[in-house]
A and B are shown apart, each in its own frame.
Chain A
Amino acid sequence: MQKSVNKASERKAAYIFILPAVVLLAAFLIYPSLQTIRYAFTDYNIMRPDRIVFCGLNNFVELFQDADFWIAVKNTLYFTVLVVPFQTVIALALALLISSRRRGVSIFRAAYFSPQVTSMVVVAILWTVMYNSSPDSGLLNALLVNLGLEPCGFLNDPDTAMNSIIFMSAWQGAGYQMMIFLAGLQGISPEQYEAASIDGAGKIASFFYVTLPGLKNVIQYVVMITVIQAMKLFTQPYVMTKGGPQNSTRTLVYYIYEQGFQKRNFGYACAVAAIFFVIVISLSLGMKKIIKAD
Chain B
Amino acid sequence: MTKKKTLGNVAFYLGNTLIALIFVSPLIWMISSSLKPEAEIFKGLNTLATFIPKAASLNNYVEVFERINMWKFIGNSLFYVLVIILLDLLVNSICGYALAKFEFKGKGLLLTLVISLMVFPAEAIMLPMYREMADLGWINSWASLIVPFVAKCFSIYMFRQFFMDIPDELLEAAAIDGCGPVRTFFKVVMPISGTVYATIFILDFVAHWNDFMWPLLVVTGEEKRTIQLAIQTFFGSKPINYGPIMASLTISAIPMLIMFIFLQKYYVEGIASTGIKG
Contacts and interface: CB of A to CB of B under 8 A. Distances in A.
A191 B59 CA distance: 57
B268 A179 contact: yes
Given A111-B23, A218-B275, A218-B276, A118 B256 contact: yes
Contacts of B104: 10-11, 14-15, 18
B249 A118 contact: yes
Given A36-B127, A121-B212, A180-B271, A138 B228 contact: no
B132 interface: yes
A36 B13 contact: no
A193 interface: no
Contact of B123 (A145, A176, A222, A276): A276
Given A18-B95, A36-B125, A270-B127, A228 B119 contact: yes
B135 to A, nearest CB: 10
Given A21-B95, A235-B212, A270 B123 contact: no
Interface stretch (A57-65, A79-87, A94-102): A94-102
A182 interface: yes
Contacts of A253: 123, 213
A139 B45 contact: yes
Nearest to B127: A260
A31 B242 CA distance: 44
Nearest to B155: A21
Interface residues of B, number: 92
B102 A270 contact: no
A28 B180 contact: no
A55 interface: no
B68 interface: no
B72 interface: no
Contacts of B17: 108
- The majority secondary structure among interface residues of chain B is helix
A196 interface: no
A135 B151 contact: no
Contacts of A116: 206
Interface in B186-230: 206, 209-210, 212-213, 216-217, 228
B161 interface: no
Interface in A258-289: 260-261, 266, 269-270, 273-274, 276-277, 280-281, 284
Interface residues of A, number: 94
Contacts of B54: none
B168 interface: yes
Contacts of B125: 29, 32-33, 35-36, 273, 277
A21 B117 CA distance: 13
Contacts of B242: 129
A17 B98 contact: yes
A253 B156 CA distance: 27
A166 interface: no
A102 B12 contact: yes
A200 interface: no
Contact of A232 (B45, B121, B245): B121
B25 to A, nearest CB: 9
B165 interface: no
B276 A184 contact: yes
Contacts of A6: 175
Given A16-B182, A21-B92, 19 more contacts: A11-B102, A13-B98, A14-B181, A18-B99, A21-B151, A24-B91, A27-B132, A35-B125, A111-B20, A112-B20, A119-B210, A125-B249, A126-B27, A126-B29, A143-B46, A171-B23, A232-B121, A273-B127, A276-B121
A179 B206 CA distance: 15
B147 interface: yes
Contact of A270 (B19, B119, B128, B228): B128
Contacts of B121: 228, 231-232, 276-277, 280-281
Interface string B26-66: 11011000000000001001100010000000000000000
Contacts of B151: 20-22, 24-25, 28-29
Given A1-B168, A21-B92, A183 B110 contact: no
Return the 8 tightest CB-CB contacts between A and B, nearest first.
Answer: A183-B272, A35-B128, A24-B151, A142-B45, A13-B181, A21-B95, A14-B102, A180-B275
B16 interface: yes
Given A7-B103, A18-B99, A176 B271 contact: yes
Interface in A12-55: 13-18, 20-22, 24-25, 27-29, 31-33, 35-36, 39
